[in-house]
């Protein structure tokens, strides 16, 4: 039996990068899938790919910066399939800003995508689970930078650290509802979005992945499909009673010193 056999899964921010990898892994494990994104082209292309492989999937267009649309993404899934069993919040904004140069507008953008959207998507999903008296799971894709991060990630860190606290708070609040909520602090990962970020903000060339990998303990960047497999495990019953955990999915050890 597949890990997510027949489970209705929503992956918010699931049209590229880590989110798309999670979508593919969930469908391989038997999920009925919905993915959200702002742009219909990549979303519809991903859904077509998944359907061609024999999966059941729909695309829900949503701008997660709008709290109403974040909540509505869940409502749409419930309207379509009658319920939601699993939610993954994988959308993320990583534009740069330090404590000294971040504008209120940039700060608000980070809060909107990296914290407010997961909050209201979780609110809607958990309300459905509790209303039906059914168990469910949520995984929030966070970041190892939530522990402190680089100086140029100040608003990103502020929002993602808030998501760490929210993950634990919501898990505690709904443990007797059998709703398990966990987070994953992912490290440096090779995605389309990271490629664009490195080029836009750090002047990176075509060899940036190789140069970055050479500096990492295991000689390579993390891969989206590896993260996806871990997320699917946390969504599934195979992860048992684990809830309120924010796991460091990284090759650097917090607090370790040379």
Q: Tokens 């949520």, residue?
A: 138
Cα–Cα–Cα angle for 201, 224, 70, rounded to 5 degrees? 75
Taken in order 123, 128, 129, 133, is the CA torsion positive or negative?
A: positive
Instruction: Indicate which residue of 156, 159, 186, 188 is catalytic.
Output: 156
Give the phi and the psi of residue 231 in degrees, each rounded to 5. Answer: -65, -45
SS3 state at 62: coil
Q: How far is CA 254 from CA 147, 167, 258, in A?
A: 8, 19, 12
DSSP for 197-241, please give it: HHHHHH---TTHHHHHHHTSTTSS-B-HHHHHHHHHHHHSGGGTT
Token pair in block for residue 116: 């407010």
Indicate if 81 belongs to the active site: no
Distance CA 25, CA 22 (A): 5
Q: Which residues of 9-43 are buried (b: 16+ CB within 10 A; e: fewer)?
A: bbbbbbbbbbbbbbbbbbbbbbbbbbbbbeeeebb
Give the whole-angstrom CA distance, residue 221 versus residue 91.
Answer: 20
User: Which of the residues are catalytic?
Assistant: 156
């Amino acid at each position: 039996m597949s890990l997510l056999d027949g489970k209705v899964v929503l992956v918010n921010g699931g049209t590229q990068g880590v989110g798309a990898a999670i979508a593919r892994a969930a469908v391989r494990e038997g999920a009925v899938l919905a993915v959200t994104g702002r742009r219909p082209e990549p979303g519809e292309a991903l859904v077509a790919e998944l359907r061609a492989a024999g999966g059941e999937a729909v695309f829900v267009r949503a701008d997660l910066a709008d709290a109403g649309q974040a909540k509505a993404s869940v409502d749409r899934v419930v309207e379509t399939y009658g319920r939601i069993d699993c939610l993954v919040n994988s959308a993320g904004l990583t534009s740069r800003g330090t404590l000294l140069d971040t504008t209120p507008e940039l700060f608000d953008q980070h809060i909107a995508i990296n914290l407010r959207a997961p909050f209201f998507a979780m609110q809607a999903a958990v309300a459905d689970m509790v209303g039906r008296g059914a168990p469910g799971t949520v995984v929030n894709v966070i970041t190892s930078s939530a522990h402190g991060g680089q100086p140029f990630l100040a608003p990103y860190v502020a929002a993602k650290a808030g998501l760490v606290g929210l993950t634990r708070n919501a898990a505690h609040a709904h443990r007797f509802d059998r709703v398990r909520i966990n987070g994953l602090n992912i490290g440096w990962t090779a995605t389309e979005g990271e490629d664009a970020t490195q080029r836009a903000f750090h002047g990176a060339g075509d060899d940036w992945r190789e140069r970055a990998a050479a500096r990492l303990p295991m000689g390579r960047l993390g891969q989206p499909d590896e993260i996806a497999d871990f997320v699917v495990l946390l969504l599934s019953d195979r992860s048992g009673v684990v809830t309120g955990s924010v796991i460091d999915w990284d090759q650097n050890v917090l607090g370790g010193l040379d």
